[in-house]
């Protein structure tokens, strides 16, 4: 069997506050969502926004829950994971999330004051 590649890196803004939870065994995990806005190749003047669900485990989960806030820019790297389940009506449901292996916090962009004139 050959090894396959499953790597994703997405930069975006946090759109939902992280929720820190623990499994029955005591493992920490957190979920949050980010939005990435880019331009369409077909319509260069048209912005497209994609939303991604992110799950982090362990220490990364605890750090994200403590410091991430809605609006904060991050770069998430990890792998894609698909979950499948059946709802109450028996319909098969599916969701793909980014399983975070690293979360980089981008600097807050503060508005800079214009330079004072030397006149």
Res 119: pLDDT: 46
Res 43: pLDDT: 76
Res 90: pLDDT: 94
Res 45: pLDDT: 79
For the chain, the domains span 8-105
Res 110: pLDDT: 62
Tally of CB atoms within 10 A around 56: 27
**8-105: which CATH topology?**
OB fold (Dihydrolipoamide Acetyltransferase, E2P) (2.40.50)
Res 36: pLDDT: 95
Contact between 34 and 103 under an 8 Å Cβ cutoff? The reply is no
Q: Consecutive 10-residue runs of the chain (119 residues): their mean pLDDT?
A: 87 94 97 91 82 96 95 97 94 96 88 50
Res 111: pLDDT: 52
Contact between 20 and 65 under an 8 Å Cβ cutoff? The reply is yes
């Amino acid at each position: 069997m050959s090894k396959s590649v499953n790597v994703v890196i997405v930069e975006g803004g946090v759109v939902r506050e992280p929720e820190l939870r623990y499994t029955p065994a005591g493992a920490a995990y957190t979920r949050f969502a980010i939005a990435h806005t880019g331009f369409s190749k077909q319509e260069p003047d048209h912005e497209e926004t994609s939303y991604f669900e992110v799950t982090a485990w362990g220490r990364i989960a605890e750090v994200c829950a403590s410091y991430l806030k809605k609006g904060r820019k991050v770069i998430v790297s990890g792998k894609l994971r698909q979950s499948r389940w059946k709802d109450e009506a028996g319909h098969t449901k599916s969701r793909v999330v980014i399983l975070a292996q690293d979360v980089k916090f981008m600097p807050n962009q503060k508005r800079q004051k214009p330079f004072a004139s030397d006149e």
